[in-house]
Amino acid sequence: MATIEDHNVRLTQQPSSETLVLPRLRMMVHFAACGQGFLRKVAITVGITLLLGGVAPLSAQQQKGPPPSYHEVPAPKSKKVTQASSTAEDLPTLTRKALPAVVLVVAADKAGKEIHQGSGFLVSGDGKVVTNYHVIEGTTSAVFKLPNGAFYTVEGVLALDQDRDLAMLKATGRDFPFLALGDSDNVQVGEQVIAIGSPLALEATVSNGIVSAIRELDETKEKVIQTTAAISPGSSGGVLLNSRGQVIGVTAFQMTKGQNLNFAIPADYIKPLLAAKNVTPLEPADTPTVKTSEARVENPETGPNIPRYWTHVGTGESVTVRIVGDYLYEEGSFSSDGVDILSNSYICDTKRQGNEWIGKCSRTIRGNVWDALGNFVRVFQCALSVDETVTMVSPERIEGESQGAAPGPNFPGGPYRGVNRCLVPGPTRSHFVLIPKE
């Protein structure tokens, strides 16, 4: 839990003349999709606790000049009046529908040591995960866990808005459950809301309350939603839902002084991040560049003379190869012991570019988690996506380079016997050779 103490920055609140003592936060906005950033000075007006588990206190950065004022604004006058009596769902039904898309986020450093733990939620079926920026700040790898016990590797960052403390991550996998974004501009003070997250790693924790106020920063006109729905350290990046199950906010911080004063970042600030398509590693590694000047394609006219079944030299695993037009597909599996590892398969999808085929390999691992005494805990599922370049294709041989894997963060709640973590993309590359299966 990171606590920012008072720094004697005065706040004016309207229409009341009361003042509060608040810290200043200086943040930068950066969108990974376009690679451009700019610095924006923002003053947030309360002594706050960032809702992050397992981190050291952060120090507030001082700014020169007078602080912007921060005041309460009236609920927006919207033509779209919420008719809760006809559209709202009861709390158990709403919770049951939303829970599958809310995740526990565990982020680690280069050594695989867990340094941040927070919450997040899926906003698309292809694995876009929203959380707070401070949950993944300074980390090199991350995994998230669904309520059903499945673990997935975070492939990287799609977009960051550090000014508003938002991050959109890309998880490896598909067909995920996800939540719909609502219109946070139409949120009404007094309407019923629920918050779902993983405070103190207590996964799928649900609390309910109301919208207490909509507050606005005078300098930037950016808003935050104040709510009575309880949140705690570890709730960072969790979801705030309206009574129709729509996302209206991202739970982010609470006041250190006072009671039940919780705040969320409005969901409308998420929407620009959805356009991002390029994935950037949490912390780019110095990956060796493959020399391609010697690449050979002995059989550019791919056709029926390319065998379908191959053997991986070194591991002896069977690999199925298909070439369709400019695409080369590989499917294979690694050995499983049936106890710790139930299945371990991969699919590679590469496209011809000049004399090479370049693309991705997606690997899925399923297995059992056992406690230290050997008792069954749950089934896990890990997904990993790495780069692959095929440099030579002939009827007698296929060669290439593939990105290696590295240990990810430990599974929450451990230690466990046997498998303790998923794999994440690593900084190295390895050479592979396939020969026709006899």
Q: Which residues are catalytic?
A: 134, 165, 236
Residues facing 393 on adjacent strands: 398
* CB neighbour class for 320 (10 Å; exposed up to 12, middle 13-18, buried from 19): middle
427: left (phi over 0), alpha (psi -120 to 50) or beta: alpha
Tokens found for residue 187: 């949120």
Q: Is 116 exposed, middle or buried (0-12, 13-18, 19+ CB in 10 A)?
A: buried
Q: How far is CA 224 from CA 130, 205, 288, in A?
A: 17, 22, 44
In the beta sheet, which residues pair with residue 358? 351, 389
Are the beta carbons of 343 and 366 closer than 8 angstroms?
A: yes
State which H helix or E strand residue 144 sits in.
strand 141-145
Q: Residues with Cβ < 8 Å from 80, sequence gap 6 or more?
A: 183, 186
| Cα separations in angstroms, 188 against 82, 183, 215, 254 | 8, 11, 12, 20
Please give the torsion angle defined by the CA atoms of residues 311, 315, 320 and 321, in that order, rounded to the nearest 10 degrees. -80
Q: 373 by DSSP, 3-state: which?
A: coil
Helix (H, G, I), strand (E, B) or coil at 182: coil
Strand partners, 430: 402
Q: Which runs of E-coded beta strand occur in 162-300?
A: 166-171, 192-197, 205-217, 223-227, 239-242, 247-255, 262-266
CA distance 136 to 292: 35
Say how many residues make up the chain. Answer: 438
Name the phi and psi angles at 134, rounded to 5.
-70, -10
Q: In sequence order, what E strands does 267-375 have?
A: 309-312, 318-324, 327-333, 341-353, 356-371
- Count other C-beta atoms under 10 Å from residue 192's C-beta: 17
Other C-beta atoms within 10 Å of 315: how many?
12
Neighbours of 186 (CB within 10 A): 18
